[in-house]
Amino acid sequence: MVFADTTRRETTIFAATINNNRITLAEMSISDQIRMASKNTLEKLYSLSIDESNIQINETKPEFEGDYTLVLFSFLKHLKKSPDQLGREIGDELVANNPNLLSGFNIIKGFLNLTVNDSYWIDFLQVNYADPGFGKKKSSGKKVMVEYSSPNTNKPLHLGHLRNNFLGLSIAEILRANGAGVTKTCIVNDRGIHICKSMLAWQKYANGATPQSTGIKGDHFVGDYYVRFENDLKIQAQPIIDRIKRNELSGFEGNELSDLKKWLTALQRETNKEKIEKLNDEIKEIARNHTAIMAEAKQMLRNWEAGDKEVVELWEKMNGWVYDGFAITYNRIGSDFDKIYYESNTYLLGKDIVKEGLDKGVFYKKEDGSVWIDLTADGLDEKLVMRRDGTSVYITQDIGLAEQKFNEYKPSESIYVVGDEQNYHFKVLKLIAEKIKIPGAEGIYHLSYGMVELPTGRMKSREGTVVDADDLIDEMVSIAGRHTEELGKVKDFNESELKELYDTIGLGALKFFLLRVDPKKRMIFNPEESIDFHGFTGPFVQYTHARIKSILRKENAVSSRFPTAIGTAVSSLLKLEKGLIVKLEQYTAIVEQAAIEHNPSVLAIYAFELAKTFNTFYTEHSVMNAESEEKKQLRLQLCEMTANVIASAMGLLGIKVPERM
RNA sequence: GGUCCGGUAGCUCAGCUGAAUAGAGCAGCUGCCUUCUAAGCAGCAGGUCAUUGGUUUGAAUCCAAUCCGGAUCACCA
């Protein structure tokens, strides 16, 4: 490619002037070309130098004639001309200098509406229609790490994990499509008090039961014992809470004792409902920590850390069950990882970091031996990085892991797909990493996403209001099956074909539903709405794809060589034909935008709009019975390219598209 | 209390690096299957873009204040 290593800006100038070179043109979006041409025109006519980011090119509103609109208002103050006169001068110059690109213009108020040559759109279609990789970039050599999913091994995955997994998978695909080499990773939280809870309950109640002996999926099996533990804990905590409330505080000492006294007196005076609830929660927390069963769990954790053979064996056995269960779910939703980190291996990381930070004077030691960093100058708080007993905390482990990731993979960007309740954590993580100059610190990016809530409110595992991932997927798939059966369009499918189709549709619906919303926003998961397969949904887009494929299949049966080049035989486009090409042309920019914003929802919205645009075209114009053979070929190309782009866009969301449905 | 995020149609969401009458989907109401898949298409109805002030030729979009909702500020992870 001649201009391959020129800058974007330089390429643009070539494209705007040498516009009979189609290959070069394909390198840049049409709106960017118009933007650059406008910039050049302003310079040439008025010696006015305006940064391209200040030149507004919008899609022309459907009620006006034209394809793209140059907004003139901002130039008016620099040039003392009427909008009409200015528009005419710019329009004439633009069209004269870019005869292949632009065919005409009109001016309404301060808007210069430009019409792109039909032959230009047709050329664009000719060049790209058969390319399944349209919109994607070649490898740039950039390396990115995406950490996502990161489950706990004490309970099965739920709806929140699904949003995380879908986001992680999608962002990995999106970055790959933009030329990055992507390593998908996951940090498994396989150690800690929560695991011990499940282990302890299993010891007490299972009588040697296993997932195999009970037929229960491993992660659910272990999760059931976690719930069992929590129930016992609740029962044991209640009398202690009652005792505290009666002001019987024997057995408490130190900070706990003084805190309890403080809260109890505060409770007597407090009238604010929320504050009362908060105080009660604090008391409950202390009571929970004073139960016999909690003491057992803590002892178990100590034993685990000491390497107690029996505990470690049990831990390995139960984690193994959970991994077996997760594997099934991951396989079903398409999650996979190039590298898995286990917290049991990384939780000691960070010790060196602490030493390094102390040496560099970034950290400081308090009298009790604990180590801190003062972030008040950055508008944050003081943050503990090492406990007084010398063990590292979450943030320190994470810095250690960040360093390890960089050492192993050297990514220029390291993305963490983690819920927005940890915004503060990642802000601190990046800041500390930068302060102690961990390599790759600047590349840390927290892809923060909002909580998934139910119409009834927040999901709480303690209250049993979580939506289980496996249940939800089963439900979606079975609804997809029922729906498909009712429509009766695939009666000739065999059993495995049907199963695959139901999975594709059910999972497609679920993924699309969770990805169509801006990640950073909290979202409400309404089960009734999520199983709707009409409108702005995955199945709608999938259906459009299947519809197109049906046309192509039928045409293929008649003629084996289609679509053929149409050359110059077709020189003008109907409105809906052009509208579809315009939409297709924007795909490249959308793929780029999704990566820049780390936001798959722009692709979901685009895929829906494209499908909608196609369906409108489809009902108005026949492909098979087009007005002429040339038109038919053009429309077949349109069909093929639309199918390709739909499949590609959905692929970037991690969603499959069926050939028939 | 500090910090951060959000408040757009009955509901769920786009639009937020300012620009032409604020867009979708769902729900409601009308039409359209003898022609390439009706999981579709066309249309009707539905809005003081939380409130108030400011900047601007122009504000849902930028700024300030206020109100409402959420997250977070652990020697938990």
Q: Determine phi and psi for A614, rounding to 5 degrees.
A: -65, -45
Examine residue A566 and state whether it is found in any structural domain, yes or no: no
What's the Å distance between residue A271 CA and nucleotide B75 C1'?
32
Examine residue A47 and state whether it is found in any structural domain, yes or no: yes
ipTM score of complex: 0.97
Strand residue runs (E) in A16-141: 57-59, 68-71, 102-108, 111-116
Examine residue A126 and state whether it is found in any structural domain, yes or no: no
pLDDT of residue A550: 96
Q: A13 pLDDT band (50/70/90 cuts)?
A: very low
A425 touches strand B (CB under 7 A): yes
CATH number at A60 reads 3.30.1360.70
Residues A107 and A196 reside in one and the same domain? no
CA distance A609 to A614: 9
User: Rounded mean pLDDT of A59-78?
Assistant: 89
Closest CA relative to residue A515, chosen from A484, A536, A544 = A536
pLDDT of residue A569: 61
CA distance A427 to A572: 55
Residues A111 and A200 reside in one and the same domain? no
* C-alpha distance from residue A517 to each of A72, A163, A588, A607, A640 (Å): 33, 10, 21, 13, 28
Question: How distant is the alpha carbon of residue A654 from its chain centre?
Answer: 10
pLDDT of residue A567: 56
Which domain-ending residue is among A116, A144, A172?
A116
Q: A218 pLDDT band (50/70/90 cuts)?
A: very high
Which domain-ending residue is among A246, A281, A316?
A316
Q: What is the pLDDT of residues A70-88, one digit of tens each?
A: 999 988 888 888 889 999 9
CA distance A479 to A213: 30
Residues A112 and A220 reside in one and the same domain? no
Q: What is the pLDDT of residues A521-559, one digit of tens each?
A: 999 898 888 889 999 999 999 999 999 999 999 987 655
Average model confidence (pLDDT) across chain A = 89
A275 touches strand B (CB under 7 A): no
Q: Lowest mean pLDDT: which of A51-60, A205-214, A646-655?
A: A51-60
Smallest CA–C1' separation from A68: which nucleotide? B20
Examine residue A93 and state whether it is found in any structural domain, yes or no: yes
Structural domain count, chain A: 2
Examine residue A652 and state whether it is found in any structural domain, yes or no: no
What's the Å distance between residue A112 CA and nucleotide B63 C1'?
30
What's the Å distance between residue A103 CA and nucleotide B18 C1'?
29
Examine residue A81 and state whether it is found in any structural domain, yes or no: yes
Closest CA relative to residue A426, chosen from A451, A453, A457, A394 = A394
pLDDT of residue A568: 55
Smallest CA–C1' separation from A61: which nucleotide? B20
**Hey, what are A500's tokens?**
């695959």
Q: Which of residues 496-525 of A touch strand B (CB under 7 A)?
A: 505, 516-518, 520-524
Residues A202 and A301 reside in one and the same domain? yes
Examine residue A262 and state whether it is found in any structural domain, yes or no: yes
Which domain-ending residue is among A316, A333, A360?
A316
A294 touches strand B (CB under 7 A): no
CA distance A100 to A123: 10
Closest CA relative to residue A167, chosen from A646, A598, A593 = A598
Q: What is the pLDDT of residues A393-432, one digit of tens each?
A: 899 999 999 999 999 999 999 999 999 999 999 999 999 9
Protein-proximal nucleotides of chain B (any atom < 7 Å from a CB): 2-6, 11-15, 17, 19-21, 24-27, 35-42, 57-58, 70-77
What's the Å distance between residue A484 CA and nucleotide B49 C1'?
40
CA distance A611 to A614: 5
Examine residue A641 and state whether it is found in any structural domain, yes or no: no
**Which residue segment(s) compose the domain that A232 sits in?**
192-316
Give the dihedral of Cα atoms A70, A75, A77, A81; nearest 10 deg.
-80
Q: Report the amino acid identity of residue A29.
A: S
